[in-house]
Amino acid sequence: MEDKELAEKPSGLSRETFLKVYGGIYEHSPWVAETVYDDKDNGDMDTVLKLFAAMRLAVDMADHGMQLSLVRAHPELACSPADMAKMAAASVTEQQSAGLHQCTPEEFEEFKRLNAAYKEKFGFPFVIAVKGLYKNDILDAFRSRMHNDTDTEFQNALVQIHKIARLRLEALA
């Protein structure tokens, strides 16, 4: 993967501008961007991969409670229009790109059932980077991951969250 420079050099931005641009990369978790900005003198962060590495490290070094809050900040998949209104704009676009806004009534009911069962079992929503996937791929992953244990799914969620963040950063380059 090529490491593209970001449109504006993050290292040269004011804190306010940096948080405005990068505060939403991790869903409803501006603390990730705040941590990176406050630690920006410790390394180069002016390319996608370098900024992503800094953000990923901030998440990976956070305590379990902060990580759990990050996972729980993610929306359910194929949710109601009222719930979509609460989502970050990037999440709405990502879900629409996977066709989740065009579910049949049967698919919508299966997403609804799986969302509830997953959240009941694991205590957080199912997270998957939907870019490049379609609703059937997502349903297959949902069904498969339901059989995992909580620790495995927590790690899966973090991996997927990092993938989402990288894709969002690449979109800014």
CA distance 114 to 107: 10
What is the mean pLDDT, run by run of 10 residues, along the chain of 173 residues? 84 94 96 94 86 97 98 88 76 84 90 96 97 94 97 98 96 90
What pTM does this model have? 0.92
Query: If DSSP states are collapsed to H, E and C, what string results for 18-61?
Result: HHHHHCCCCCCCCHHHHHHHHCHHHCCCCEHHHHHHHHHHHHHH
Helices (H), the chain: 15-22, 31-38, 48-61, 64-72, 81-84, 89-97, 105-122, 135-145, 150-172
pLDDT at 30: 97
Task: Please list the active-site residues.
Answer: 74
pLDDT at 160: 98
* Domain 76-149 CATH (choose: 3.40.50.300, 1.10.3720.10, 1.10.3330.10, 3.30.1490.20): 1.10.3330.10
